[in-house]
Amino acid sequence: MTAGALPAEFVASQVEVIRAFCAELDGRLPAYSYVPLHTDAQRVLVMQSRLFNEIRAAEVFGAWLPTTPELDVKELLAEACHEEMGHARLLRDRIRGMSAEPFAYGPPPEQIALFHTMQGLVTTVERLAAFQLAGEGVASHLIKRGLESDSVPDWIKQPYRRIIEDEDEHGASPVKLLQTYAVTTEAQRLVRRGVSLGLSLRARYFDALDDMVFQGVRW
């Protein structure tokens, strides 16, 4: 195998790609962040969409377990399954508290494609790059934007304060793991592709959710 760039420097360069993507989102925050929403009906719809994400994330992590040989990554995935279902419970209870049905939601094709694609990835480094590093990195960024915003009501912020605490606890884990395993030219190629894949699929999902919230599109 051919040695790649220094792992720490390489992973740092990919983190910068994700930060640049987040900076672009800050110019026009998507509905996913809750910030541009004006009605509780819009907020419930976004929370239903994000509930779908929490459950699908747990399912994807669980599906990866049998084909993940690295024990430290396997442990992270197992813990993440439990954590995502806990987050789903928080959102489910909050939606019911708004007199809405948590699962009265039809995901757009872009959201379905996002999780199907993630589940179909076959290498540990590309999985970590696409989902945990890029996808969850962007999600955490937008959670923080929502928590900072005066336009987001407290009934939204309450569950996300707990969720972001969990995310911050292991936020550095994908970076450390990729520094360990993305050491060859081929592994680093897969990481670059994974980051690009994770960001592009998220962008398409955000656009589709915007159409549902602001244009009334339904699936």
In eight-state DSSP terms, residue 128 is I
CB 197 within 8 Å of CB 16: no
State pTM to two decimals.
Answer: 0.96
Name beta bridge partners: 184. 3
Q: Residue 5's pLDDT is what?
A: 77
Neighbouring C-beta atoms of residue 12, cutoff 10 Å: 12
Distance CA 65, CA 74 (A): 6
Spans in the chain with pLDDT lower than 70 = 1, 3-4, 171
The structure tokens listed for 99 are 């007199």
What are the Cα distances from residue 53, in Å, to 110, 114, 135?
12, 10, 11
What are the Cα distances from residue 205, in Å, to 4, 46, 186, 197, 211?
32, 12, 28, 12, 10
Q: Residue 168's pLDDT is what?
A: 82
Q: Residue 171's pLDDT is what?
A: 64
CB 21 within 8 Å of CB 199: yes
- The CATH class given to the 39-215 domain equals mainly alpha
Q: Is 6 helix (H, G, I), strand (E, B) or coil?
A: coil
Neighbouring C-beta atoms of residue 24, cutoff 10 Å: 11
Its sign, for the CA torsion 194, 195, 200, 203, is positive
